[in-house]
C-alpha cells in the first residue's frame, strides 16, 4: 500500500471520528428539544442530506434500487434505524461517557454473534478481550445500580441496543455473503459504512434514517424544538452522520477493517473529552474505570489482529 495514501486515509479517519464524537456535546446545548424529538430531527436531517448526496451521485438509480432492494438491504436499514434511535435517546438519559463506553463493545459483540450464528472460529485473544470488556461493562452497570440512578441505568441499557444492532447488521451481511470476510474485522458503536467484502449497502443507511424519523415523529409530537435547537440538530444530521457516512465508505477501500475499527475507538475518547470541555460533563469514576477496561481490551485485541494480518 502506498505510504502517503495510507497516511492520508488515516488522517481522514481521525476526522471522521471527530465528526462522530460531536453528538454528545452538541446535545448538551439544546434548549427545548428532548427525548424522541432529538432523535426525530437528527434522523430527518440525516435523511435529507443523504437524499441530496446520493441523488447527485446516483440519480434515478437510487430510487430504482430501493424499489427492487433485496431483504438484506431492508434488514440492514432496520438495524441502522435502531442504532440512530437508541443512540440519541440514550444521550438524553445518561452521560456521554456511559453511552460511548457501552457502545464501544460493538466489535466484540459482532465477533461473538458471528461465532454463535455463523460458527466462525474466534482466536483466544478475542475471547480474552470479550471477557475483559464484559467485566468493564458489568462494573459500570453495577456502580449505577448501587447509586440507585435508575435513569442513568436505563440510558446505558438503551445505549446497549446500538452495538447489538450493529452486530446483527454485520452478521446478517456475512450470512448473505456465504461467510465471506472475518467476523473479527467488524465495525462497532454509531460507525457507519461498509466492509470491503460487502456490496453497496449505503442506501441502507438512508432507509435507517427514514425509518427512525418516521417511527419517532409520533412519539416526539408535539414538537417543541426552538430555532436554536433545529440549527444544532441539522448540524448533527448532516455533519455528524451523513458526511462521515460518505467518507468512511471510501476509506474502506484503503484501510483494512481492523484498522478502521481501532481508529474508530477514538470516538469514545474524543466524545468524552468534548463533553467534559464543552459542557462541563466530567465522566464518573465508574465510567473511567470501566472505559479503561473496555478500551484496553479492544485496543490490545485489534493491535494483535492487525499485526497477525500484516505478518500473513
d(CA 108, CA 100): 15
The pTM of this model reads 0.77
The confidence score (pLDDT) of residue 211 equals 94
d(CA 144, CA 146): 5
d(CA 9, CA 102): 27
The separation between CA 286 and the C-alpha centre of its own chain, rounded to angstroms, equals 22
Cell of 88: 440519541
Q: Is the peptide bond before 290 cis (omega within 30 degrees of 0)?
A: no
Which residues, given as ranges, of the chain have pLDDT below 70?
A: 1-3, 118, 120, 122, 126, 141, 144-148, 173-201, 249, 252, 256-259, 261-262, 302, 305-306, 309, 312
d(CA 93, CA 158): 9
d(CA 87, CA 79): 12
d(CA 79, CA 76): 5
Closest CA to 114 of 58, 176, 69: 176
User: Which value, in Å, is the radius of gyration of the alpha carbons in the chain?
Assistant: 19
Residues in the chain: 312
CB of 189 closer than 8 Å to CB of 264: yes
The confidence score (pLDDT) of residue 280 equals 83
Largest separation between any pair of C-alpha atoms in the chain: 57
- Cell 500484516, located at residue: 310
d(CA 85, CA 215): 9
Amino acid at each position: 500500500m502506498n505510504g502517503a495514501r495510507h497516511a492520508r486515509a488515516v488522517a481522514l479517519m481521525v476526522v471522521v471520528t471527530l465528526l462522530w464524537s460531536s453528538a454528545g456535546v452538541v446535545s448538551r446545548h439544546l434548549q427545548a428539544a428532548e427525548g424522541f424529538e432529538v432523535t426525530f430531527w437528527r434522523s430527518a436531517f440525516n435523511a435529507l442530506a443523504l437524499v441530496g448526496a446520493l441523488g447527485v451521485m446516483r440519480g434515478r438509480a437510487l430510487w430504482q434500487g430501493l424499489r427492487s432492494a433485496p431483504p438484506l438491504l431492508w434488514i440492514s436499514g432496520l438495524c441502522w434505524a435502531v442504532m440512530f434511535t437508541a443512540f440519541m435517546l440514550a444521550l438524553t438519559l445518561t452521560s456521554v461517557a456511559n453511552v460511548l463506553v457501552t457502545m464501544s463493545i460493538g466489535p466484540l459483540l459482532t465477533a461473538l454473534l458471528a461465532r454463535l450464528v455463523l460458527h466462525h472460529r474466534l482466536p483466544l485473544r478475542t475471547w480474552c478481550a470479550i471477557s475483559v470488556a464484559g467485566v468493564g461493562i458489568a462494573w459500570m452497570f453495577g456502580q449505577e445500580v448501587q447509586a440507585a440512578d435508575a435513569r442513568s441505568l436505563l440510558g446505558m441499557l438503551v445505549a446497549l441496543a446500538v452495538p447489538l444492532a450493529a452486530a446483527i447488521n454485520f452478521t446478517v451481511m456475512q450470512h448473505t455473503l456465504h461467510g465471506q470476510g472475518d467476523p473479527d474485522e467488524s465495525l462497532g458503536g454509531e460507525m457507519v459504512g461498509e466492509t470491503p467484502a460487502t456490496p453497496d449497502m449505503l442506501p441502507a443507511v438512508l432507509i435507517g434514517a427514514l425509518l427512525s424519523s418516521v417511527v419517532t415523529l409520533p412519539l416526539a409530537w408535539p414538537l417543541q424544538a426552538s430555532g436554536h435547537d433545529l440549527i444544532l440538530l441539522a448540524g448533527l444530521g448532516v455533519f455528524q452522520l451523513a458526511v462521515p457516512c460518505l467518507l468512511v465508505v471510501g476509506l474502506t477501500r484503503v484501510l483494512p477493517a481492523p484498522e478502521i475499527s481501532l481508529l474508530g475507538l477514538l470516538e469514545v475518547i474524543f466524545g468524552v473529552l468534548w463533553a467534559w470541555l464543552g459542557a462541563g460533563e466530567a465522566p464518573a469514576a465508574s465510567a473511567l474505570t470501566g472505559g479503561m477496561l473496555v478500551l484496553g481490551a479492544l485496543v490490545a485485541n485489534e493491535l494483535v489482529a492487525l499485526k497477525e494480518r500484516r505478518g500473513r
